[in-house]
Amino acid sequence: MAKARELRRRIKSVRNTRKITRTMELVATAKAKVTTDRVKSVVPYSQTLLGMVSALVASGARHPLLGSDAPVKKVVLFGITANRGLCGGYNSNVLRMLREALEQERAAGREVALHLAGKKGLSAMRFLRIPVAEGYTQFADKPRFEEVEAVARPLVAAFARGDVQRVDLVSCRYLSSSEQKPRRKTLLPITPPPAPKGIRVEPILHPAPAALLGELLPLVAATSLFEAFVEAAASEQVARRIAMKLATDNADEMIGDLTRTYNRARQAQITQEIAEVMGGALALS
């Protein structure tokens, strides 16, 4: 009977866990819809900015944020993780790529400054005893452009002064609701795509192209960083929804297995009690 009681306690415990994971799955589903809509609205804006920069560069304008031929001696690695867990391999995949990038840059003899957003990433680096130059925990599920721009501004200024020669971004890229992959991309220097054929830049050349480029390039850097934060937030919620759905499904399967085990144990107990009663009756007859 003790085994049956223990099985009942386990079934009750798993059912309570299933309620939590199911609720978290529903919440993550709702948040994923909001965050993916933000990705769809940010990407066209970012691409339009890059198109304008490409047109200005094609006209002959130059700017320090476009890079130079100077050797790369110092690199900033900017990683984006989550403030919370329970989202599958989202954080571990980004941190693995970040550590690989850190090892590659150090092996090349470059000085590396690590900037990290997200409590999970910061706690992992503390555990690994890897120093972090700058840490950010203020970004929620819906990062605001003003917050991201405040983080991008000192990076742009340091690159323009020549204090760092490259800023690389390591984050999770949102490709679709079923595919999110960690990626490493260069934030600074800015490399605009080739200007599309047929674009004429003369109507927008007031003030001079160099002045326009000086205004647009910091905005491009901030927008690229903001896009990465938005994609990371969407990827986090999708990963959490998938993780919680798998946990709920596993809880359902465990409840089924425990229920069958409990029924067998209860049936064996009843059979044993009947056998004892019959044995006692036969002994008295």
| Domain 42-240 fold | Pyruvate Kinase; Chain: A, domain 1 (3.40.1380)
Lowest mean pLDDT, pick from 103-107, 195-199, 266-270, 281-285: 195-199
pLDDT at position 175 is 87
Dihedral of CA atoms 44, 46, 51, 57 in degrees, nearest 10, equals: 180
- Count CB-CB contacts under 10 A for residue 276: 10
pLDDT tens digits for 160-204?
Answer: 999 999 999 999 999 888 888 999 999 999 988 776 565 454 544
pLDDT at position 69 is 80
DSSP 196: P
Residue 146 has pLDDT above 90, yes or no: yes
Tell me which H or E stretch contains 137: none
CATH classification code of 2-24+243-284: 1.10.287.80
Name the average pLDDT for the chain: 88
Residue 1 has pLDDT above 80, yes or no: no
Q: Which two tokens stand for residue 260?
A: 């069958």
pLDDT at position 285 is 65
pTM summary value: 0.84
DSSP, collapsed to helix, strand or coil, labels residue 80 as strand
Which segments of the chain belong to CATH 3.40.1380.10?
Answer: 42-240
Which segments of the chain belong to CATH 1.10.287.80?
Answer: 2-24+243-284
- In terms of residues, how long is the chain? 285
DSSP, collapsed to helix, strand or coil, labels residue 256 as helix
pLDDT at position 230 is 94
pLDDT at position 192 is 83
pLDDT tens digits for 215-236?
Answer: 889 999 999 999 999 999 999 9
Mean per-residue pLDDT for 62-70? Answer: 84
pLDDT at position 63 is 86
Share of the chain above pLDDT 70, in %: 94
Quick one: three-class SS letters along 23-51?
Answer: HHHHHHHHHHHHHHHHHHHHHHHHHHHHH
For residue 113, CA distances in Å to 7, 52, 77, 121, 155 come to 53, 31, 6, 15, 11
